[in-house]
Amino acid sequence: MSVGAVVLGVLNGLTIGLLAVGFVLVYKSNRFLNLAHAQLGTLSAVLVAKWVIDWGWNWWLAYVLAIEEADESVRHSVLRHRSIRLSADRLADAGH
């Protein structure tokens, strides 16, 4: 078995472990199973791969920018969800 195969196996195992810890933390804190949790890591991974492999960017620069982009995406979706919820609450209050 080559060293590269061992390193890839370890990295895959660590990634799956981090995703599992994220599922557990979200479920234990909210009693809600967030099935979109893995999508956050996938977005960053795809961006890094695209920027490094296809466009030839520096790995560290692509990594930092992908994390920032994923963070911005989460903030945007959370704020959008809150505004939709507030609008629905206002409509419900206006009806009563």
Token pair recorded at residue 6: 């061992």
Structural domain spans, the chain: 1-33, 36-96
pLDDT number for residue 56? 94
Tally of CA atoms within 13 A in the half-sphere of 74 that contains its CB = 15
Comparing 27 with 73, which gets the higher pLDDT?
A: 27
- pTM of the shown model: 0.49
Helices 59-95 and 37-49 pack at an angle, to 10 degrees, of 140
Chain segment 7-59, per-residue pLDDT in tens: 999 988 988 888 888 888 888 888 877 777 666 677 788 889 999 999 999 99
Q: What is the mean pLDDT of residues 72-82?
A: 66
Question: Rounded CA gap, 24 and 44, in Å?
Answer: 21
Instruction: Report the alpha-carbon distance of residue 46 to residue 53 in Å, rounded.
Output: 10
pLDDT at 78: 61
pLDDT score, position 3: 93
